[in-house]
């Protein structure tokens, strides 16, 4: 029954990634969440280096056999978040690039039209 805990945590993690994906990207809150996530990652990394047994203790608490297994689960979730975040940023960046390229195309067309009319 204790296995349930890790399952609940992992499913919740995946759902959070999904919500993260559905949020409008590029906002300040998006950036803040990414940085908080990074900060948490660093703290946990340092803690598990200094106190390796802590990870195993935590793993046992939520129904995972070894600390290394828990690390793997966490890594998979972190990877999902990274992929989602990179995808969202890519979409926003492409939008900006399109607008920029369109402005260039239209500015060039306007200049050409002006010289055409004056001929």
Q: Least distance from C-beta 118 to other proteins, angstroms?
A: 16
- Burial 108-118, CB ≥16 within 10 A → b, else e: eeeeeeeeeee
Site map 1..30 versus other proteins, x via CB under 8 A:
--------------------x---------
Closest CB to other proteins among residues 45, 105? 105
Q: Least distance from C-beta 98 to other proteins, angstroms?
A: 5
Residues 76 to 115 in contact with other proteins, rule: CB under 8 A: 87, 91, 94-95, 97-98, 101-102, 104-106, 108-110
Residues in touch with other proteins (CB under 8 A): 21, 87, 91, 94-95, 97-98, 101-102, 104-106, 108-110
């Amino acid at each position: 029954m204790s296995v349930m805990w890790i399952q609940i945590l992992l499913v919740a993690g995946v759902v959070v990634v999904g919500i993260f994906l559905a949020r409008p990207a590029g906002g300040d809150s998006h950036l803040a969440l990414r940085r908080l996530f990074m900060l948490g990652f660093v703290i946990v990394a340092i803690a598990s280096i200094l106190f390796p047994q802590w990870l195993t203790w935590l793993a046992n608490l939520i129904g995972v056999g070894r600390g290394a297994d828990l690390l793997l689960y966490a890594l998979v979730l972190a990877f999902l978040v990274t992929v989602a975040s990179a995808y969202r940023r890519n979409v926003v960046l492409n939008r900006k690039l399109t607008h920029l390229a369109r402005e260039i195309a239209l500015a060039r067309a306007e200049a050409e039209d002006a010289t055409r009319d004056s001929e």
